[in-house]
Amino acid sequence: MTQELTKIPQATAKRLPLYYRFLKNLHSSGKQRVSSAELSEAVKVDSATIRRDFSYFGALGKKGYGYNVNYLLTFFRKTLDQDELTKVALIGVGNLGTAFLHYNFLKNNNTKIEMAFDIDDDKIGSSIGDVPIYNLNDLEEKLKEAGVNVAILTVPAPVAQSITDQLVVSNVKGILNFTPARLNVPSHIRVHHIDLAVELQSLVYFLKHYPTDETDL
Ligand code: ATP
């Protein structure tokens, strides 16, 4: 994380990758400026929020002109550390883990799953795409050797905490947790939790109980 990011609100920081992806597309289609209304329509964030977010980046749109796409893109690339490749490890090569190994994260951002881990002898020693699958016993050694400090967790929930403890001693600083387990970590570790079943259930609940024009999430 860069200095600038520590000063902006977390809700704004969370929207940065979204803005970045859209601006990259605009840039490759040759567009040089964009209005907050256009951005708003494309990323589905209201334009007042966009203007407030962008003011934190020192990007002040001019009336009748909008924002300079190149300026914003350079800013986002630097702020999101896009010039540097972030190496990621994946733990648990089941159905979900396998899908992630096939997914090309590099297409949209500068992160790459560098290695995967499992305990299943049939999987250990093989690879999916160009990602090698190692024995979980070698976790600490491999992560430290390659300087990996971000991990994706796609193991069964009952083992999630013990693997998390191993990730912590392996110098991992960020965990994207796809298991339903709530993880305990020291305060210097950041966990983002994505429970697909809960998200789906919440969507279905909202569809049933709130008319769509009131569902402003
Ligand atoms: P998914 O949950 O992704 O649909 P699945 O149903 O195929 O996967 P799970 O039982 O959820 O399988 O296990 C996911 C993967 O995690 C499997 O490849 C399994 O071998 C692996 N796994 C199980 N326990 C551990 C562990 N302690 N450490 C690392 N990997 C593990």
213: in domain: no
> Are 105 and 190 within one domain?
yes
Q: Are residues 151 and 178 in the same domain?
A: yes
Q: What is the CATH number of the domain that holds 44?
A: 1.10.10.10
120 Cβ closer than 6 Å to some ligand 1 atom: yes
Give yes or no for residue 151 CB within 6 A of ligand 1: no
209 within some domain: no
What was the pLDDT predicted at 3? 46
**Domain identity same for 34 and 106:** no
Residue 91 lies in a domain: yes
Nearest to 159 by CA among 90, 88, 92: 92
Judge if 95 and 44 occupy the same domain. no
Which of 30, 52, 78 represents a domain boundary (last residue)? 78
Instruction: State how many domains the chain has.
Output: 2
Is 163's C-beta closer than 6 angstroms to any atom of ligand 1?
Answer: yes
Instruction: Note whether 33 and 111 are same-domain residues.
Output: no
Q: Which domain holds residue 181?
A: 86-198
Position of tokens 């008319």? 211
State in Å: Cα 156 to ligand 1 middle.
5
Q: What are phi and psi of 14, to 5 degrees?
A: -65, -25
* CA-92 nearest atom, ligand 1: 16
What pLDDT was estimated at residue 1?
44
Q: Is residue 214 part of a domain?
A: no
Identity at 42, one-letter amino acid code: A
pLDDT score of 6: 53
Position of tokens 């969370």?
A: 14
In this structure, is the dihedral angle defined by the CA atoms of residues 186, 187, 188 and 189, taken in order, positive or negative?
A: positive
Within a domain: 64: yes
Are residues 182 and 109 part of one domain?
A: yes
Same domain for 192 and 92 = yes
How confident is the model at residue 4, as a pLDDT? 47
Q: How far apart are CA 207 and CA 83, in angstroms?
A: 40
What is the ipTM for the molecules in this complex? Answer: 0.92
The CATH number of residue 194's host domain is: 3.40.50.720
Tens digit of pLDDT at every position of the chain (217 positions) = 444 445 788 888 888 888 888 888 888 899 888 888 888 988 899 988 988 888 887 766 666 678 888 888 888 888 777 667 889 999 999 999 999 999 877 766 678 999 999 999 999 999 998 999 999 999 999 999 999 999 999 999 999 999 999 999 999 999 999 999 999 999 999 999 999 999 999 989 888 888 776 544 4
Which protein residue's CA is at the shortest distance from atom 17 of ligand 1?
A: 94
CA of 154 to the centre of ligand 1 (A): 7
Do 193 and 99 lie in one domain? The reply is yes
> Per the domain annotation, does 205 fall within a domain?
no
DSSP letter assigned to residue 113: E
Kindly state whether residue 207 falls inside one of the protein's structural domains: no
Outline where DSSP puts E strands in 74-199.
86-91, 111-118, 127-128, 131-135, 150-153, 174-177, 190-193
Are 185 and 92 part of one and the same domain? yes
Taking CA atoms only, the protein residue closest to ligand 1 atom 29 is: 118
Domain finish residue from 62, 78, 94: 78
Q: What pLDDT is recorded for position 217?
A: 47
- Examine the domain organization and report whether 71 and 137 are in the same domain: no
Find out whether the beta carbon of 183 lies less than 6 Å from any atom of ligand 1: no
Residue 132 covered by a domain: yes
Same domain, 13 and 56: yes
Residues 106, 50: one domain?
no
